[in-house]
Structure formats: structure tokens, C-alpha cells
Amino acid sequence: MDQSRRLNFYCKQVCTKRQASYRDIGRNLNNENMSGRDHGKKVTLSSSFTGSVRWYRKKNLESLAIFRQRRRPDLFITITCDPNHKDILRALPKHQTPQDRPDIVARVFKQHLEELTEILIEGRVPGWETAKAIIEVVEFQKRGLPHAHILVTLNRDHSITEEEIDNYTVAEIPDVETEEDYELWRQVTTKMIHGPCGEFNIKSPCCQNDKHRCEKMYPMDFQTRLYFDSQVKAIYKRRSEEQGGNTALITRRNGDNIKETYKIGNQWAVPYNLWLLKKFKCHINAEICSSIQVVKYLLWYPFKGDTRVMASVRNAEDEIETFEDMRTFRASEAVWRIHEFPLHKRYPSCQSLDVHLHNQQQIYFEEDDDMVALMNEGPKMTQLVAFFNMNAEEPNGPNINLTYAEFPTKYTWLPTKKWKLRTRPSPSIKSETVGKLPMLQPTHGDVFYLKMLLTQEHCKGKQSEEELRSVDGETYNTCKDSCNALGILDDDEEWDRCLSEMEETVGTRRFRHIFAIIIVENSPRNISGLFEMYHMKLIEDYCTSFYNQMHERIPEDNCFALSLFTIHQLIKEMSNCDDPVD
């Protein structure tokens, strides 16, 4: 397979590569360590290798960057491949089944997915706006069939309101008055009904837990209205039979593979959009999105693979061997990979930008390279250095009105290591690009404050890092001092922005640590305001653990007290005092 060949290439070629900063090599170079193997750290599976841990992380961070700039997603759509879809059956040769031709199944699903993406971008669903941001991830079920998760930010200034929910999605069995209504009713009752599970079928996969309860929380409670709950989660109208809701008789196989007939109501309906269901005639779940955290679900859950345990007495740090041993492929996914169909798409595209201090850009080299010759070549060209050079070469161009983070919106990064002005306007989000700065924390040192400077109006037109560190004619030694001189750190807006980014990208324990460092080392003005804003994130892991064990949530007052106690203890350890915060 193509991926196996690529892995062999990495084993023979790429795994001899190492990386280190230009400054560190210069500091450590002497007569005893002239070869590359004496410097830096080994590089294995990079972010360019599809499926590697670094690839997942890069796609995750770039997706979050798009939504931070274009607004949080409004819709979460899941489309699932139906092996008995008429388009698949029509393409099959005689006497063959969909199981015999995973290539046809994959190709037809890809066509449906591309059509759905175009519909969403152009806003062709009645009553929907065009899209200004889309993230799409393809996943493969345990039985081998593909399905895709799509996040959509609509071209509007605000999120979907309670009054608009039913314009985008419903969760009821439709009325039947005409032949067209019957066809829609049939699609809903055959493709958009969950289970039934629970007391009807305790062997259902969604009920395989200690409580034998559905992990998707079905059956849902009946509701007579549409609204958002305290967690900003959309609650859909699901009327009971007494309230005017419809019921249906469906036939499904139970846990013993015996067909049974169930009478189900709206509490079992999966939210859907009428127009999309009519168009694609397959399971297509459409829900109002309430949290940016769903991006993590999109980028991590689909690639988690089967639950496995590996034990080894050798090569414990061989990343390639571990990746090769832990991967699993089924027929449909193998076909998808062979044809190089994408597992991930996003519109607009995202350009990751380098951020580094002077002469601290990363250098990649072979283990047998002559490091003296490498150092004589000088520091390599990076996007940040090219940004400064562009401002020096064209002091009157459109570049002087752009911050470093905004540069990719007007300029494209060429393989020749130069920025080039985009000559044609962007007719759609498919040809637009946004910039993403790396995720940095206060613990990374002065480069964290350099990133702050590169997002400010102050950085426009700057021709070097030294000029960037200059404020009112005075050049400061560090970027942190420059931030202080500009008053950036006096306003808690920057700390709010930092914590907001960390909230979306790091785990709870790491977030607590970053929050404590900001308080201890930077002394924000409104500590209590920042705490009130992020106190739930500070104990998210505790809340999740409690809910998984007790199947109920911690009361809100107790959450606040637990957050305060947790962060107080952490700050106390860092500052080595008895009463670190007031």
C-alpha cells in the first residue's frame, strides 16, 4: 500500500533527520561535535504525514484558528454512507453487492460529500445563508462504511436564535397528507430514528456501560417548544402523542438478531433538515452547534482507532513502528487512501506561520551533515524574516497595512521562500486563506510576547525584530518589555485572548497550570473577572469524572467553590506563600 511505502521512506531517509535552532547549534558547536548527530533532536513522523499525531494536532489547531477568525460554528452536520443507496446499487455490476465493491461505495460517497459541500458553501438549502467557514472530516465506522462530520459557520453576524432553530433542523416524525409526505415519513422512520435501545434493547452498542443507559441520552424528553438550555445546547421540539406528535411502527433487529416491531415517538428522532434528507436520502444528522469544543471531537475522535494495548520490550520510542503496529484499515478506508481522497478539508484554507526570536529559527539537517558548513550558510529564510524583508523592500505597498497574522489574507507563501501579492480577488471561501500563529504559552519565554507584538497594530510595516521592539524611539531588550511599554499587558484583554485560545486547545490540567502562571508571573488587573469567566474550564476534568460515575452534574455553587480551592492550592505551590491571592 502507498502508506507502507511512505513509512519505509521515512524509516530509511527521514528518520536520519534532526532539528535544532540556529542559535543553539552555534552555541554548542565545538571541535568534539562537528556532525549532525551531536545536535538537536530526532525527527520522525512529521505533520506532513497523514495520520500521524503531529498531523492531527496541526489540523486541529488550524481548524480552531479558522473559527476564531470567522466566528464559532453554527451547524454540526453528519452524513453517513448508505450501502443500499440507489446511486451505489445503480453503479454495481450484475450479481455483485456493495460489500463486493468498496471502491464503488467510496467513490459514490465522495461524490455525495462534494455535492453537500458545494450546497453548503453556496447556501442552496432553502432559508440558509451561505457559509463563511467549513471544516469537514471523514471517518470510517467499525463496519467499514465512511461518514463525514461537517462544521459550518454561516455568513451572518450572530449565532442562530431560539426562534430560528426549526428553520435549520427539526426532531419530529412528519405528518403524512400527500404521497410526497409519505416518502419523507419513510426516510425519517428508516434513517433518522435512534435505536431503539435501553429497555427495548440493552445489548445495543450505545448501552454498553455500567448503568445500561444510552450514551446518546435517548430516549429524549418530550418538549413543546424550542430553546437553548443553561449549557447553550439546543433543545428541539419533541411533542408526545397527547400533545399532537406523531408515532410510527418500525421493525428492527434486537440484541439477539431477532426482528421485533416497536412503536416509537418523537423522543427517538435524530435531528435532521427536511430539504437535505429529501436530497440525499441517507442518514444526515443536522444539529445546532453550541460549542467550539466540537472541533476537538472532529479532529481526535474520528482517528482514535480501535481500543488496543501494546506491550514491547524493545524500540519503546520508535514512533514509526508504533504507528504501523497500531493502525487499522478496512476495505473502504483502504480504497479511500489508495485513491488519495482527502480525510480533512477546510474552507478557507489556513496558513501556519513561523514565530521565532532573532536567529532562533528551526533548522533541519542530516545526522552526517557537517555542522560547520551548515552554520556558514547562515540562518534560513522563514515566513517571519520574509515579512520583515517585504516591509523593507516595499515600504509603500499594501503590506504596510497588514499585521503578520493578517499577511496570508493578501499574500501567498511561495516555495521560493518569498511572499507574493495575490493578484485576483477571492470569489468564494474556497480561494481565501487565513493565517495561524503557533500556540504559545507564557512558559515559552520571550517568544510568547513576540507573538503578542505580531498581532498588534504596532507590527505593521516593521522591518526587523529590533524595530518591532522599539517603542517611542526607545529599543527594549525583550519583547515583554516592549509589550509593557505599549500597555498591552496592562489590559486583561490579552490574557483573556490567551486563555480563550488555551481553553480550546489544551487539557484541563494544563489549562490550570497556565492560568496559575499568568496570575503569579504577570499579575493581571482583574483576576476575579478572569476566574469567573474560566472557572468551569478549571475543573472540567473533575466534572466529567463525576458525571461519568454518578450520571448527574455537580451543582453550580459547588463548581465555583471547587474551582476556587483548586486554583488557590496551585498558586500557593507556585508562589510558596500561605495566601497567594486575595
Q: Is pLDDT at 337 greater than 50 in this prediction? A: yes
Confidence of residue 305 (pLDDT cuts 50, 70, 90): very low
Count of beta carbons in the 10 Å neighbourhood of residue 128: 21
Q: Cβ-count burial of 31 within 10 angstroms (0-12 exposed, 13-18 middle, 19+ buried)?
A: exposed
pLDDT for position 108: 92
pLDDT for position 292: 66
All residues at 6 or more sequence positions from 87 whose CB lies less than 8 Å from its CB, including other chains: 108, 111, 112
Task: For residues 556-578, give the mean pLDDT.
Answer: 70
pLDDT tens for each residue of 218-230? 888 888 888 888 7
pLDDT for position 143: 62
Confidence of residue 582 (pLDDT cuts 50, 70, 90): very low
Task: For residues 234-248, give the mean pLDDT.
Answer: 88
The model carries a pTM of 0.82
Tell me if 565 sits within 8 A of 539, measured CB to CB: no
Q: CA 480, CA 460: separation in Å to the nearest integer?
A: 18
Helix, coil or strand: residue 104: helix
pLDDT for position 150: 92
pLDDT for position 113: 93
Tell me if 442 sits within 8 A of 518, measured CB to CB: yes
Confidence of residue 44 (pLDDT cuts 50, 70, 90): low
pLDDT tens for each residue of 473-488? 888 888 888 888 888 8
Helix axes 540-550, 556-575, angle to 10 degrees: 140
Q: CA 424, CA 432: separation in Å to the nearest integer?
A: 11
What does pLDDT average to over the chain? 80
pLDDT tens for each residue of 415-437? 888 898 887 766 778 888 888 88
Q: Which helix H or strand E contains 263, and what residues bound it?
A: strand 259-264
